[in-house]
Amino acid sequence: MNNPLLDFSDHPRFDAIRPEHVTPAIQILLQDGRDMIARLEASTGAPDWDSFVEPLESVTEKLGRAWGVVGHLNAVVNTPELRAAYNENQPLVTEFWTALGQNEALFAKYKQLQQAPSFASLSPARRRIIDNAVRDFKLGGADLAPDQKIRFAEIQEEQATLSNRFSENVLDATNSWELLIEDAARLSGLPEDAVDAAKALAEKEGKAGYKFSLHFPSYFPVLQYADDRALREAVYRGNATKASELGEKPEWDNTRIIADLLRLRREEATLLGYRNFAEVSLVSKMAETPQQVVDFLEDLARRARPFAENDLAELRTFAKSELGMDGLEAWDITYASEKLREKRYAFSDQEVKQYFPESKVVAGLFGMVQKLFSVEIRSDQAPVWHDDVRFFRIEKNGQLVGQFYLDLYARNGKRGGAWMDDARGRRVAGNLVQTPVAYLTCNFTEPAVVDGKRRDALFTHDEVTTLFHEFGHGLHHMLTLVDELGVSGISGVEWDAVELPSQFMENFCWEWDVLQGMTAHVKTGEALPRALYDKMVAARNFQSGLQMLRQVEFSLFDMHLHFDFDPDSGRSAADVLAEVRHKFAVLVPPAFNRFQNSFSHIFSGGYAAGYYSYKWAEVLSADAYAAFEEAADDAELLAHTGMKFHTEILAVGGSRSAMESFKAFRGREPTIDALLRHNGMTL
């Protein structure tokens, strides 16, 4: 009873949780789950919501919440002890969920519920939960023969282990790599804050000079600003070869893991009666077939390619004439692009960054959200896992509707990237409302400490956009009004629609009124000047053709791997990527590039045969934002549009299909027009 992982009375007790708590807690929760399943199996009465669905949901929610805490800590404060505890229990948790998904007795009861006359009188949310459960039992192998179930369970456990090892290899390779520079002259071109951060990183470890790592805030400024071409190449190579056979340690090479995962996914699909894993993936998504996705992506590629070719031609001409580069190498692209943008638009990312101190950005984000959705965001208190983490609450009409943790900075032991995850979902049991809680995690540069004083962190505009993106996911989770856990917030939302609110929120980072409320020059306190804003807007679609083609390239690579690639054909994932690039890319990386070996989205992040979702949902989000553009000059209409987006998109969660929600908001199906216009791809 003293185990903090078993305390569900309020928020996780992050200040008390230790690795040694994991195994005892998970063992108890797994046994509780097995006991409940046995009771439900033995029940002879006709199943109904209160006697069957609710008890099963309650017991599995506790396991999900506790394991979610363990997984979150493993991602943000990874230690050898925590990793060992996680790895010890992951097979047991996977085994439990697999067995649950294959349980014929429970499957039969869900089908009985679905076919009962009373089904029609249930709320739409409850009907959707039952429909989803029947679908998921089929995908979980409940219809398989006994020997097939055994193999299916083995496949699930092997995939979970391999995906986790993939993620660990990327993390270890990222944390391990370093580049020490002793000659300050080699840092020519780098912004002052990037140099200060490198020096502080070296000093923290008792080393002389300047240390660079493969954490994004450390290596990317080198690629973007360093005049030393050899320095850029060293950093590029380190990042491009991590977790591969060309990296530091053979045991961190993900090549074999990729091949094994693809074989297992293909075998899983075959067992379930599908031709490929992409078909399995799309069962719970908006897109209907892999070919439909491929056609969508190839259409985008065809539209983007002329713009991308023009982007590259301009860059090569500029690099040769202005920078003296006859050949443009991969480690020159970001550097030359930044120089071209500075020349063309007369500003740099570094100049813009001075107007985005963290305190002003966060306050501005909160202010915009409060105005748009008529809510209040206040600082709150809860145990946290690191001193840099902050906790907030969202209220509407004085009532608590959600809370969130904000963990903004990169550090060793923290997985790269940015993400939102749920700590708990909204549900109503009796008269008690369980409000949702979210984790919002980024990897921005931590504040510099100068002369013993901690400065405000400065964000690039891209980082501001990332923060808005993740907050959009958070709003989707926290502003739900659905009372049933299985479809409240982001639960039950089709994966290729889940990016709609996040990408929608990114658009506000370009609004003049919004930026006025979230910018203040770090030295003068002056808000972003109109002249600089106009330059930013003019440069918004700078190299948008190249950027879109790159995302399409990754999406097609993912889809083909899981659609028409045979892992036993003698071809490799690298071959598939090379073929996609040959057909669609205008910028082909060097032969040593091993991007796929750290493509965590599809090999450890749940986006397998789903990376296309970013572009698919961008069609939805751009069209949804167009409604706000159309209402921009009418304050009353704008307020109404914000309220409607809340009620028809955010509030309903997964209680109905994403297409129904979109049409309820927009009054029609989505079109691609706004996406092309926002990316400057209209002729």
Annotated catalytic sites, by residue? 470
Q: What's the one-letter identity of residue 594? A: R
Please name every residue paired with 396 in a beta bridge, in sequence order, or none if there are none. 399
92 vs 98: CA distance, rounded Å: 10
N residues, the chain = 683
Whether residue 542 contacts residue 341, with contact meaning beta carbons closer than 8 Å, is answered with yes
* 364 token code pair: 């501005």
| Pairing of β 432-434 and β 419-424 | unpaired
270 vs 264: CA distance, rounded Å: 10
Other CB atoms closer than 10 Å to residue 255's CB: what's the count? 17
Whether residue 477 contacts residue 436, with contact meaning beta carbons closer than 8 Å, is answered with yes
* 498 token code pair: 């889940």
Residue with the two structure tokens 């698919």 = 616
Closest CA to 651 of 458, 412, 254, 374: 374
Q: What are phi and psi of 525, to 5 degrees?
A: 80, 0
* 352 token code pair: 């813009």
* 65 token code pair: 């919440």
Please give the span between the terminal C-alpha atoms of the chain, in angstroms, as a whole number: 66
Determine whether 455 is exposed, middle or buried from the number of CB atoms within 10 Å of its CB (0-12, 13-18, 19+).
middle
216 vs 238: CA distance, rounded Å: 12
3-state secondary structure 140-162: CCCCCCHHHHHHHHHHHHHHHHH
Whether residue 167 contacts residue 415, with contact meaning beta carbons closer than 8 Å, is answered with yes
623 vs 620: CA distance, rounded Å: 5
644 vs 482: CA distance, rounded Å: 16
Other CB atoms closer than 10 Å to residue 176's CB: what's the count? 15
565 vs 278: CA distance, rounded Å: 11
Determine whether 230 is exposed, middle or buried from the number of CB atoms within 10 Å of its CB (0-12, 13-18, 19+).
exposed
Q: Is 482 helix (H, G, I), strand (E, B) or coil?
A: coil
3-state secondary structure 196-211: HHHHHHHHHCCCCCEE
Using CA atoms, how far residue 655 sits from 351, 505, 581, in Å, is 45, 22, 39
Closest CA to 395 of 431, 428, 435, 361: 435
Whether residue 224 contacts residue 212, with contact meaning beta carbons closer than 8 Å, is answered with no
Closest CA to 507 of 627, 386, 390: 627
492 vs 490: CA distance, rounded Å: 6
CA 547, distance to chain mean position in Å, is: 18
Whether residue 599 contacts residue 257, with contact meaning beta carbons closer than 8 Å, is answered with no
